[in-house]
A and B are shown apart, each in its own frame.
Chain A
Amino acid sequence: DTEVTQTPKHLVMGMTNKKSLKCEQHMGHRAMYWYKQKAKKPPELMFVYSYEKLSINESVPSRFSPECPNSSLLNLHLHALQPEDSALYLCASSPRDSPQETQYFGPGTRLLVL
């Protein structure tokens, strides 16, 4: 199994809703990442987990809450989002958090906040 899966593929939510995005990999990777990507822009790093511990939080608002329950699973909990949070949310994993390692990306969850 050499892929990163993300669910759901699409999500529409109101500003008062609570929802979660899920990311899963079974490649034995120990580094996992959340990115936000706006249309026609590069991905922006949000969070990095290394060995299930949060190692980087790129000044992301608290309405985004990451969770890494185990080495295969990464969640992003969403609460009280704003319309400007509408974007493609990408998950990625790599064998380790080291500079030469390839990141493997999931297909993303397209989020629309109304």
Chain B
Amino acid sequence: AQSVTQLGSHVSVSEGALVLLRCNYSSSVPPYLFWYVQYPNQGLQLLLKYTSAATLVKGINGFEAEFKKSETSFHLTKPSAHMSDAAEYFCAVRGRSGGSYIPTFGRGTSLIVHP
């Protein structure tokens, strides 16, 4: 079974500082990995995804993530945090279960941005 682990339920940064949200995966096959963001009282929005085309993936809103097979990691970064980045971030992997591809989400990391 595939799974992801998000390290840190909360990350606090100052506006303008580097954002680093950690995600490690467990998979016996090449994984498909996703980062989603959820703003309060909204659904999830895709930030970026890894589908084996390139190890450095650029997403929306200035976010990027690097797939590192040797470290089984897919950490999310942004060079300079904005107040508007404050939200819940979920890492996810899709694995086969029965006849379908089930996404498995990490527990989420709440990003807090201080002025």
Contact = CB atoms under 8 A, between A and B. Distances in A.
Interface of A: 4, 40-43, 45, 48, 50, 55-56, 90, 92, 97-100, 102-108, 110
Contact of B99 (A55, A102, A104, A106): A55
B43 A90 contact: yes
Interface stretch (B16-24, B70-78, B79-87, B89-97): B89-97
A108 B43 contact: yes
A103 B32 contact: no
B56 interface: no
Contacts of A102: 34, 46, 49
Nearest to B107: A42
A4 B45 CA distance: 11
Contacts, number: 63
Interface in B91-115: 94-103, 105-108, 110
B42 interface: yes
Query: DSSP class of B's interface residues: helix, strand, loop or mixed?
Result: strand
A68 to B, nearest CB: 14
Interface in B37-62: 41-46, 49, 51
14 contacts: A40-B108, A40-B110, A45-B102, A48-B102, A50-B99, A56-B98, A92-B44, A97-B100, A102-B34, A102-B46, A105-B44, A107-B42, A108-B42, A110-B41
Nearest to B9: A40
A52 to B, nearest CB: 14
B40 to A, nearest CB: 11
A90 B44 contact: yes
Contact of A97 (B32, B45, B95, B101): B101
A56 B100 contact: yes
A100 to B, nearest CB: 4
